[in-house]
Amino acid sequence: MSQLVKIGTRGSKLALWQAYHVEELLQKAGLRTEIVIIDTKGDQILDVSIAKIGSKGVFTQELEDQLLDGRIDIAVHSAKDMQSNLPEGFEIIAFTEREKENDVLVSHNKEVSLKQDIVLGTSSTRRISTLKHFYPHVKTVEVRGNLQTRIRKMEEGLCDALLLAYAGVHRMEYDHMIVEELDLNEFTPAVGQGSVAIEAAQKLDPDVKAMITSACDHPETSMRLRAERAYLRVLEGGCSIPVFALADLDGKRLSLTGGIVSLDGKERISIVIEGNAEEPERLGRDLADQVFAAGGKIILDQIKTTLNK
């Protein structure tokens, strides 16, 4: 009898897409699977911004509780939702192959553009701060909930367009509503955007862990995300801190772009460094040092002071 792997996931359509994607990879490797749907705090509280709920573990806490007591073997998350420092006893054992990383403008109106005086729906501090920096005339409105809920709110007149990750829009088959793919140099994505992370308790049977990693982990994506997450770890950036990073792999060379934007958008630091692909964590830490030295530490301290008021 082959190994049974219980997959924990949130219940939104996008979260389920991710869980079924991981399930397919595991089944191809000959493993049996069962999907377990779990409600999280981030799913339950939709009338308050992520920054106000508290950014640590908003979408992961309840899944981790079940990993710890063995009700599930793995938890499947959007890699960008994973905090930079996991609680003791947990680890990420795989990153799936990354989708296109861009942010996109989504609307029924194909004429919508960032050059216009429009109202954009987003709940991301990174996107809001980036808009304030490059497109200060654009107004934003808080919009939370799953993708279908956000689109409904837009249709009801809350905003002219939504600012979202391409990966989620594409996976939910809303490509026809993409008005524009945004420039990665301006809208450098959140750490991990486009990949699915598989989390496990460290006590998970090593043989089972090895089988899951072998079936699901995409080595190039994993290398890139290890660099990005090492950068995020130094900045202690949760969902409420407007930091960004994107790694690219070219043979044995890894390039990493990353930075931070002030909440008012007036200051934005973005730095690119290169290094050995065999040492992605070191590259992430080196980038963080350079961003701090360029004034990023002052911006980060100001952000934390503002958010803690």
Read off the pLDDT of residues 30-67 as tens digits, 9 standing for 90 and up. Answer: 999 999 999 865 455 444 444 443 444 556 788 999 99
Q: Is residue 108 part of a domain?
A: yes
Q: Is residue 227 part of a domain?
A: no
**pLDDT value of position 19:** 97
What is the extent of the structural domain holding 43?
4-97+196-217
**What is the tally of structural domains in the chain?**
3
**Percent of the chain beyond pLDDT 70?**
92
Catalytic-residue membership of 81: yes
| Below-50 pLDDT ranges, the chain | 42, 45-56
Q: Is residue 16 part of a domain?
A: yes
| CATH number for the domain harbouring residue 52 | 3.40.190.10
Q: Are residues 87 and 202 located together in one domain of the fold?
A: yes
Q: Are residues 88 and 212 located together in one domain of the fold?
A: yes
**pLDDT value of position 100:** 97
Total residue count of the chain as it appears in this document: 309
Q: Are residues 10 and 82 located together in one domain of the fold?
A: yes
Q: Are residues 177 and 303 located together in one domain of the fold?
A: no
Q: Is residue 190 part of a domain?
A: no
Q: Are residues 65 and 202 located together in one domain of the fold?
A: yes
Q: Is residue 76 part of a domain?
A: yes
- The residue from 73, 81, 160, 286 that is catalytic is 81
**pLDDT value of position 155:** 96
Buried/exposed 235-259: b ≥16 CB within 10 Å, e otherwise: bebbbbbbbbbbbbbeeeebbbbbb
Q: Are residues 39 and 62 located together in one domain of the fold?
A: yes
Q: Is residue 33 part of a domain?
A: yes
| Orientation of helix 13-28 relative to helix 147-155, angle to 10° | 150
Could you give phi then psi for residue 4, rounded to 5 degrees?
-95, 125
Q: Is residue 188 part of a domain?
A: no
